[in-house]
Amino acid sequence: MTWLPIQKTSLRERDAVLGMKPDVYDVLRDMLTLTWQITDARLLDICRLRLAQMAGARPETAGADPQLLDDLKGWRSSPVFSDRERAAMTFAEQYHLNHHLISDEQKAALKSHLSSREYANFVWALHMNDAFIRVLSLLDIEPDPPTDPIRPERIPPQGTQSLRIGGGDDRPPQKGAFAEVDPEFFEVYGVLGRTIVKQKLVDDVTSEAIRLHNASHQGCLY
């Protein structure tokens, strides 16, 4: 997908900042757009909004239904959420705080409502949105103007939600952590990784220290 350039006169802060690396930003936006198509959009949206509340990511909560945001603050006692949604939010909050501490019970509760494919796609969709929320919060990005149209990487247009859940694909299946993941998502994820690796944003020592810290946190022995 090729994103149309935005005129400087209407440049939003997130486009101005993240667009400093347009090759990475374009692929990231493609990936975030795909997350809405590989999982249940409602489930992902309430989890995304809850994590945005926790992280203080104003661009992600701006424009959302005020009543929904209020319900999400007290979702454990709010009657508006189903058992399925509660299981997803329990998982999402723990994922955000420390994914290493997600309990077997929390995983089992979510899996009781999702097929293995749906579970894998939801977790990866949550992962990408959580990562993006952290970036927006860290950089304290301003919300888009309220008159702007909703971005496709924030939530899909009406009528395109969850098009690919359970759908087939002609590409060969993957292995390991990506065994059940939507093949197109896996493909774009690989493109994003290769694009990021090519970046030279900081000196080599700092870059290596960050890489090793992240590998340690993720439990990546490679």
pLDDT digits (tens, 9 = 90+) for 151-190: 888 876 554 444 555 444 555 556 666 788 999 999 999 9
Predicted confidence band at 7 (pLDDT cuts at 50, 70, 90)?
Answer: very low
Instruction: Give the residue with greater pLDDT, 11 vs 16.
Output: 16
Predicted confidence band at 3 (pLDDT cuts at 50, 70, 90)?
Answer: low
**Residue 94 is encoded by which pair of tokens?**
């723990």
Domain made up of 25-218: CATH architecture: Up-down Bundle (1.20)
The answer to whether residue 222 scores a pLDDT higher than 60 is: no
The answer to whether residue 8 scores a pLDDT higher than 60 is: no
Average pLDDT over residues 136-155: 90
Amino acid at 129: N
27, burial (CB in 10 Å: exposed 0-12, middle 13-18, buried 19+): buried
pLDDT tens by residue, 44-67:
999 999 999 999 999 999 999 999
The answer to whether residue 195 scores a pLDDT higher than 80 is: yes
Average pLDDT over residues 28-39: 94
Predicted confidence band at 207 (pLDDT cuts at 50, 70, 90)?
Answer: low
Taking a C-beta distance cutoff of 8 angstroms, is the pair 192, 28 a contact? yes
Q: Quick one: pLDDT at residue 160?
A: 45
